[in-house]
């Protein structure tokens, strides 16, 4: 991964034995759209890196006005509540390590009715962390 002209060959510093070693740990999770929070599920157990936890992952479910739904999983420290209206780019949580996972990361899914959407990332237009 290229970050500001630097090549990152792994997702952690040191040995990666602590969640804090991972570059993503605790980073802001932003809402992908203007939408409403429909559910927040919290798994209170934080996984130790390298060891799978037990499902479900902590997650935030969102619904856009056109009926498209989003799930953002493996979050921690939600900054929103059920029924909150959120704006695209608004901080809604932090990156965590919980559920069936073994390192800090985020899963995102989108669907409408029974149709799942493929999410594409345009890395050239993505902005870095908000300062």
Task: Map out the domains of the chain as residue ranges.
Answer: 28-114
Note the pLDDT of residue 4.
Answer: 66
Per-residue pLDDT at 131: 47
Query: pTM surpassing 0.75?
Result: yes
Tokens of 9: 């060959």
- What pLDDT, on the 0 to 100 scale, is given for residue 119? 87
pLDDT value of position 10: 81
Mean pLDDT of the chain: 91
pLDDT given at position 129? 54
pLDDT in the model for residue 122: 75
CATH topology of domain 28-114: Glucose Permease (Domain IIA) (2.70.70)
pLDDT less than 50: residues of the chain: 131
* Predicted pLDDT at 7: 66
Give the pLDDT score at 103.
96
């Amino acid at each position: 991964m290229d970050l500001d002209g630097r090549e990152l060959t792994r997702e952690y510093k040191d040995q990666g034995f602590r969640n804090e070693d991972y570059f993503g740990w605790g980073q802001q999770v932003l809402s992908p759209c203007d939408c409403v929070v429909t559910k927040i599920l919290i798994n209170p157990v934080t996984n130790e890196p390298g060891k799978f936890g037990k499902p479900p992952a902590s997650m935030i479910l969102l619904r856009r006005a056109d009926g498209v739904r989003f799930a953002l999983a493996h979050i921690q420290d939600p900054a929103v509540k059920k029924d909150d209206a959120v704006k695209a780019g608004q901080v809604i949580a932090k990156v965590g390590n919980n559920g069936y996972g073994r390192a800090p990361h985020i899963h995102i899914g989108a669907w409408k009715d029974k149709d799942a959407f493929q999410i594409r990332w345009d890395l050239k237009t993505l902005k870095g962390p908000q300062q």
